[in-house]
Chains A and B, each alone.
Chain A
Amino acid sequence: MHLRYRAAYGFLAPYLLIFAVFWIWPIISSFIMSFQNTRVNPWVFNPGATWGRLFIDPAFYNALKNTMIILVIQVPVMITLATIMAVLLNSPLLKAKGLFRFAFFAPVVVGEVAYAAVFRLMFNLDFGIINKLLLSIGIPAVSWFSETPAAMSLLIIAVTWRWAGYNAIIILSGLQSIPEDVYEAATLDRVSKVKQFIHITLPLLKPIIVFCVVLSIIGSMQLFIEPMLITNRGGPGGGTETLGLFLYRQGFASSNFGYASSIAYTMAVLAILISLLNMWIGREAK
C-alpha cells in the first residue's frame, strides 16, 4: 500500500476500531445470535427457537399489530398536522415567529421521563386535566390507562405531541425554499390561494414530506419509551405492547437474546420495506 494511504488509515484507525467494535461487531454478532437458542447453556444453533418462533408467537403478532395500528394512524395524522403547522408558521401574518418555532421544537428536547410523567398526570382518570376538560363539555371521563383503545389513542396523542413540531420545522424549511416569485406568477395566472397550495406547494414539498414520513416510520417502528412509561409497560395487559417493548421484554426481562435479535432484525427489515414502499410511491415521475 502506498505510504500516504497507510498514514491516512493510521489516523483513521481509532475511529475504525471503535466503529468495528461497537457497530459492526454487534450487528454481526446479533445476526449470528438470532439463529441460536440462547436459553440453554451452551447456546446452540436452532433457528426454530428464534425465527421459527416469530411465526407462531401470538405475543409477537400482538406487538406487530399494535405497532402497525399506531404507525398507520399516527404518521399520517402527525404529518398532516405538521404540514398545517408549517404553513401557519410561514404565514407573513404571524407575529412572534421565533417564539412559535421554539415552542414547536421544545417537546423534542424535554426529557423523556419528565414528558411521560406529565402525560400520566394529564390523563389520570380522576384528577387529570384532560378528563376534567372532557367532563366540562359533557363527555364522561375516559379511563385512559385501563382500556385498550383509549390507551392506544393516548400513545398516538403523546407521540404526535412530541414529534409534530419537529416535523413542522423540517417542512417549514422546505416551504421556505420554494421561491416567492413562483407564487407571484401563479397569482398573475389567476390561480387561487387554495389551488396554489394543492398544485404548487404540496408537489414541491413532496420530497420533504416523504423524508419526514420515512423518519416517522422508523421512529414509530421502534416505539418504546411511551408504551414503557406512559401506558405502564404496554398495558392494559399487552394492549399497547409494541415491537420495541416486546423486544425489550424478551432481551432484558427473559434474557432470551437469540429471540430478541430475531425481533430486532424483523423490525429493521420491516422499517426498510415500508420506507422503500413510501419512497417508491412518492418518487419523482420521470
Chain B
Amino acid sequence: MAELSLKNVSKSFGSYEIIRNACLDIADGEFVVFVGPSGCGKSTLLRMIAGLEHITHGEIRIGDEVVNDVEPADRGIAMVFQSYALYPHMTVEENLSFGLRMTGNPKADTERRVQRVVDILQIRELMKRRPKQLSGGQRQRVAIGRAIVREPRVFLFDEPLSNLDAELRVQMRVEISRLHKELGTTMIYVTHDQTEAMTLANKIVVLRGGNIEQIGAPLDLYDNPANQFVAGFVGSPKMNFMSAEVVGVETGNVTLMLSNQGNVRLTLPLKDTPPAVGDKVTLGVRPEHFTNADGGIANLTVKVDVAEHLGNTSYIYANVASGEQLIIEREESRHDKTRDTLTVAIKSSHALLFDSAGNRLQ
C-alpha cells in the first residue's frame, strides 16, 4: 500500500503533447477515478504510472520513491487491462500463478495467494478452464484476480468494465467497490462512464485533451464544478446550458437575460469580479433543479418534445423556439405529454454561471 504523486508530469508522442503538466496527489488507500472523453489521455496517464510509457517531463513518486526510472516490474503496481490481457494458452489457475512461478516465489506462498484470490472472487469452479471458455465477466474476474495475487502497492484499472453488458457492469462495479474496502489498497481506475466514476471514487480526476480540468470528491464536482466542461461531464442526464447576456451588475448580484428563453430575466448572487454589462455568459442548471412555476428565481415556458416517465421520476426533453434543448426532471408529474406547454421555475441557489471561456463565476 502506498501513496502516489505526480508532479508536473508531461508526455509527448513526437510533437504531440498528450499529457500536459499533470499534478496529482493520491493518499494511501484512496480510490481515484480518471474520467474524461475518449482520447483525452486517461490510458496514457495510467500507463505512465505503470511504467509502460516513459514520461517526457516531471516526476512520479510511489511511496516515497521517485519511480521515473524504475522498471514497471519493480514499481509494485498491478494493472487490469481493458482487454483483460489474460494468457490465452493457460488455465485460470496458471494465469493467476504465472508471474509468481516465473519469479521463483516459494510454492507454498504462491498457493496461499492463489487460494485467497479464489476465495475473494469466488472463481473456484473456473480454475481448470482457459480464457476462451469464460464469459466476459468471468474473464474480468480472473484479470482482477491476477492483479490481486501480486499483492501490489497500487492497483491500476483501465476501463475494466467497458466490455461488459449493462447489468454485469453494475454487478462488477459493486464488486470492485467491495474489493477496495476489503483490501484497502490504493486504486486508480480509468473510465469514461461518469456513473462508475461517481459511485466508485473517493476522488475524481477529470481530464480533457491532456489537461487535468478538476480534481475533487464526486459530490464536490457535482455541486461545484470548476468550469463548464466538468459541469457538463459530471451528472446524468447532463446539466442544461442556456446562453445569457449580462444586463445589470450591482454589488454581490448580477442580472441576466436568457436570450434564447424568451428574454426571461433573473438575478444571481455573485462574489467574483462581475462581468461587464453586455457580456455573453452561460447559465447552467441541472435537470433536477427545476421546480413548479413561480417556485424559483425565474419562470421558463417550454414545449415538451419527449416525456420519459420512469416511474419514480420523469424526464422532460423540451425545446424552446430558438432551438435550445432543456432536460427537466419532474418528480411529481406523470402527466406531461408531447406538445404540452409547460412552465417551470429555476430553483434559487442552484444555477451556475460560466463566462464565455467556460470558467465558473461564483
Residues of A that sit less than 8 Å from B by CB: 179, 181-182, 184-192, 195, 199-200, 203-204
Contacts and interface: CB of A to CB of B under 8 A. Distances in A.
Nearest to B80: A185
B333 to A, nearest CB: 49
Contacts of A190: 73-74, 99, 102-103
Given A186-B87, A190-B74, 15 more contacts: A179-B83, A181-B81, A182-B85, A182-B86, A182-B88, A184-B52, A185-B86, A185-B87, A187-B52, A187-B72, A188-B150, A189-B98, A195-B102, A199-B102, A204-B89
A190 B89 CA distance: 19
B73 A188 contact: yes
Contacts, number: 59
Interface string B196-209: 00000000000000
Contacts of B77: 188
A203 B130 CA distance: 14
Contact of A181 (B73, B74, B83): B83
A189 B50 contact: no
Interface in B53-78: 72-74, 77-78
Contacts of A199: 98, 102
Closest 10 pairs (CB-CB, A-B): A189-B99, A181-B85, A190-B73, A185-B85, A191-B102, A203-B89, A190-B103, A181-B81, A182-B85, A195-B102
Contacts of A189: 73, 98-99, 102-103, 146, 150
10 contacts: A179-B85, A181-B85, A184-B79, A184-B81, A185-B87, A186-B98, A187-B52, A188-B99, A199-B98, A200-B87
Contacts of A192: 102
Contacts of B72: 187-188
A189 B79 CA distance: 9
Interface of B: 50, 52, 72-74, 77-79, 81, 83, 85-89, 98-99, 102-103, 146, 150
Contacts of A187: 52, 72-73
Contact of A185 (B74, B79, B89): B79
A58 B50 CA distance: 67
A179 B73 CA distance: 19
A77 B144 CA distance: 41
Nearest to A198: B102
Nearest to B98: A189
Nearest to B83: A181
Contacts of B83: 179, 181
A97 B38 CA distance: 32
Contacts of B99: 186, 188-191
Contacts of B50: 188
Contacts of A191: 98-99, 102-103
B340 to A, nearest CB: 52
A202 to B, nearest CB: 10
B102 to A, nearest CB: 4
A174 to B, nearest CB: 13
A188 B154 CA distance: 12
